[in-house]
Structure 1
Amino acid sequence: MESMITIPNVVAAFGSTVIIGTVWICFQVVRIAYDPDLREIPGPLISTFTNIPLKIAILRGRRSVYIHALHEQYGPYVRIAPREIAIADFDAFRTIHRIGSDFNKGPWYQGQAPGQDSDDNSGVFCVLSNKAASHRRRRFQAAGTRKVVAEWEPQVVELVDLTVHRIQHDLQHRGESDVMKWWTFLASDVTGSLAFGEPFGNVQNGERSALVRDIEAAMPIIGMRIELPWTKPILDGLPTWCGNSWSPLFERFVGYGQDAVRATRAAQAGGSKTLFSKMVVQDEKEQEIPDDLIEKEARNVIVAGTDTTAMTLTYLTYAVLKHEQIKQRLVAELKRLSTRPTWGELENAKLLNNVIQETMRLYPAIPGSLMRTVPAGGAHLGGFVLPTGTQVATQAWTFHRDANVFDQPLRFNPDRWDNSTPAMKEHMMAFGGPTRICLGQNIARLEILYAVSTLFRTCPDITLAPSTTDNSMEMVDYFAIKPKAGKCVVIPV
């Protein structure tokens, strides 16, 4: 007699499946929690079972501060999630991030946007394999050398001059100016000029372009997709009328990438260059990079090139104005320079460069974890055995505050760089680790040097507004840092 399919039978089968699935999940959680190797690593007991405390810190914009506090409590190796280890051991950092390292980027990097979910279809920032990334990095590095970047110096200087003029106009006519807003406009326009052949018009128009608004709207969604992967199908599957702002936003970013490729090809035809000229050039020695990958590189650069430089300039302005004596010394040094200083002259201004270095130490634009995956065969670091596939993370925020390397590490002291030690230089990782160091650092440095020197030469008599306090400038960390208040207001003295 054939068995009857009845509602009670279906409910019973479903219930059994749920029970079996729950038991299996619990078994896996316990198995990982009590892994004989991982259990040796200190950390909060709850973190051996779940990453929820870490995720809460991340969603609050406090990941770097949270992990740093754990290092202070537990030491250089901390288990911050069942299979994630935070490391503040510099010998281990060298092993993980050395040239030729087998510690590839962790899967975290490919959670940012649809269409970048494998090494074959991702921009170089999201490519996990160090070997796979090396080819495109060479092409990027060729576009970011000092010699090439110097060709864009006039455009950068023009945009800096206009930006500082706007700040000065605000001070004279409104009695205050939000430098964070203007530095964001500047960084965005420099990126636009170098990637598209012309700025986005933020500084000229004095308001956020559509692209800047899209970047600001995208960051929370990107954070949600990365840190809570289970939300991806929900975010991607919602219809637009039901609150899905991601799909049209992503389509616009695709368009921005396509515009960058078209602008690069037009620039090539006209004998000029953009950031991506080395990628579209035909070269028998180099494999051609498809347009769709260049488009993705452009999208990543648009985001990365705006927030990081803008926040470095914002926190530098804040830090200098908090220390009147440092400001007066900086203004005096800048007055001794020629009327229109060159890049080389600015690089020889000792205090100016010390101030920039100290800002990047105390307020690194990307302070948080550089996620890497333990290679096949596992690894021995700091006396611990780390199983294959374990995620290990090092962060600039902690290395930059190592009291064994930096005297009074929480103090803003540019003069410490007058007698910098090899250890101080090694511990500075504002531009990332040696294997995957930021490819735009020469562009950022050119922009920062001119912006800082022009601001304090043009507006030497400025100070922080009463509304700009330690509390308002408290860092929130969603990969790149930002002040909690979302602004940094200055006023005339």
Structure 2
Amino acid sequence: MVGFMNKVTAALLPAAPEAILDWIFSTLLQAYSLVFTLMGIPFLCIITTTMYNLYFSPLAKVLGPWYTTIPGFWLNLKLITRDRTRSVYELHRKYGPFVRISPDQVAIADVPSARTVHSVIDTFSKLIWLKDIFRGLDTMVRIIDYHEYVPRRKALGPGFSNTNLKVMEPILHKNIDTFNLKVKTELEEKGKIEIYYWLELAITNILGVCYGKDFGLIDIGGHDDFIKSLFTALFTYTARGKTPFIGLVEYLLSYIPHSELQWLINSNNRLTARGLEYVTSRFKPERWENPTKAMETALMPFGGLSRLCPAKNLAMMKLRLIAAKVVKECGDMTPADSCTDESLGFEELTALLPKTHKCEFQRKLPVPMAAR
């Protein structure tokens, strides 16, 4: 390496005095050493932290693959590939109901333990990085301390009780009727409809109405700027919670004068200004035709007792009304040929979504006379 550096320096400055060449060579060598030292420090930190996580951490005795102890590696990789839920499920199949999935996280696939975690005693706090990913928004989601959370939950809860939601029912009917009209119109015009997209618009618009803002998403057939900012912010929130040094990255990117990049970074600010285990890899709703007590106990789509989603009753009301009205008024629909078990396999982003982000329906084909 030294001989190579001498040849390079001599080639660039053949007539320079020997003292200058020595100075240039020495400076380049120091810079070279500094670069490799700086590159080695993060690598050494990762190795040291991994060894601690693997052998000395309080979670060292929890079963799991060794590579989940590498800081910010395995979970981030599965987040990028949108395959976290299925991958964690596979680890449970291999290691049992308790499996380590990161240096400081354990996944639980044991119903009594999961209910203990979500009990009203709430001895298990929420993840501390929730404060960082939702910074700028004063919302219940980012409250870590249970005693701080309880008063807000009690204040908000009555508004979503079944009694009070009766007042909202006419508004829900209006939105769902508009949704059904769009579905029927598109079916008549095109013979096929991408119902997932229209359901997303309808449900998002109903949520907005409940908080005092009708965005008119079903009428315009798309998202307005606020809703686009909302979905973009959900993406950035996820990145904040899963990406090391994301704060520094956001700070550096904020100085790049690119309109689309700045729109992405400032999605959180626009929101602030406007104000606001039962694992299965198959879509098989018929499993709930005759659910067992164990299945009902294990089902916690709205969280547990200590952090139960306040909008649970609203969500169930929407699902019941949409299902009933769609079946009654659009009963001639059937899944399109593109709607297969493979297309309905899920991927994980900020929620579980169909892999194709589509769920197409078409009109039922008439049954031939000979087949009747």
Interval of TM-score (by shorter of Structure 1 and Structure 2): 0.7 to 0.9
What is the percentage of aligned positions where both structures have the same residue?
21
20 and 215 in structure 1: CA distance in 2 versus 1, 3 angstrom threshold: closer
| Structure 1 counterpart of 2:268 | 250
Q: 2:238 and 2:256 mapped to 1: Cα distance?
A: 20
Residue 181 (structure 1) aligned with residue 197 (structure 2): yes
TM-score (structure 2 length as normaliser)? 0.81
| Structure 2 counterpart of 1:208 | 223
Higher RCO (C-alpha under 8 Å, 6+ residues apart): 1
Residue 135 (structure 1) aligned with residue 151 (structure 2): yes
| Cα contact 1:236–1:246 (8 A) shared by 2 | no
Match of 1:154 among 170, 173, 177: 170
Measure how far apart 1:400 and its partner are: 4.4
Q: 1:191 and 1:52 mapped to 2: Cα distance?
A: 35
Match of 1:476 among 347, 357, 366: 347
Measure how far apart 1:227 and its partner are: 1.1
- Aligned 1:201-240 pairs, distance under 5 A: 201-238=216-253, 239=255
| Cα contact 1:111–1:229 (8 A) shared by 2 | no
TM-score (structure 1 length as normaliser)? 0.62
Greater shift, 133-142 or 49-58, is seen at 49-58
456 and 16 in structure 1: CA distance in 2 versus 1, 3 angstrom threshold: closer
Q: 1:113 and 1:134 mapped to 2: Cα distance?
A: 19
Q: 1:470 and 1:17 mapped to 2: Cα distance?
A: 50
Measure how far apart 1:448 and its partner are: 1.1
Measure how far apart 1:128 and its partner are: 1.0
Match of 1:454 among 325, 337, 341: 325
Residue 412 (structure 1) aligned with residue 302 (structure 2): no
Gaps of 5+ in 2: 1-25, 365-372
28 and 248 in structure 1: CA distance in 2 versus 1, 3 angstrom threshold: closer
Q: 2:136 and 2:66 mapped to 1: Cα distance?
A: 37
Q: 1:232 and 1:492 mapped to 2: Cα distance?
A: 50
| Cα contact 1:236–1:247 (8 A) shared by 2 | no
| Structure 1 counterpart of 2:300 | 429
Q: 1:110 and 1:36 mapped to 2: Cα distance?
A: 24
Q: 1:473 and 1:217 mapped to 2: Cα distance?
A: 24
Counterpart of 1:224, as a letter, is: A
Q: 1:83 and 1:137 mapped to 2: Cα distance?
A: 28
Per-residue Cα deviation, 1:227-265 (whole angstroms, up to 9, x for no partner): 1041232224423623333343223212221xxxxxxxx
Q: 2:78 and 2:43 mapped to 1: Cα distance?
A: 27
SS at match of 2:123: coil
Q: 1:58 and 1:39 mapped to 2: Cα distance?
A: 23
240 and 253 in structure 1: CA distance in 2 versus 1, 3 angstrom threshold: farther
| Structure 1 counterpart of 2:75 | 54
Query: How many residues in Structure 1 have an aligned counterpart in Structure 2?
Result: 335
SS at match of 1:39: coil
| Structure 2 counterpart of 1:261 | none
236 and 473 in structure 1: CA distance in 2 versus 1, 3 angstrom threshold: farther
Measure how far apart 1:433 and its partner are: 1.6
Greater shift, 431-440 or 199-208, is seen at 199-208
Per-residue Cα deviation, 1:389-443 (whole angstroms, up to 9, x for no partner): xxxxxxx4xx345xxxxxxx9572547554632x222101011122101110111
236 and 467 in structure 1: CA distance in 2 versus 1, 3 angstrom threshold: farther
Residue 38 (structure 1) aligned with residue 59 (structure 2): yes
Q: 1:17 and 1:459 mapped to 2: Cα distance?
A: 64
Q: 2:76 and 2:83 mapped to 1: Cα distance?
A: 10
Measure how far apart 1:9 and its partner are: 11
Measure how far apart 1:25 and its partner are: 5.0
Per-residue Cα deviation, 1:309-359 (whole angstroms, up to 9, x for no partner): xxxxxxxxxxxxxxxxxxxxxxxxxxxxxxxxxxxxxxxxxxxxxxxxxxx
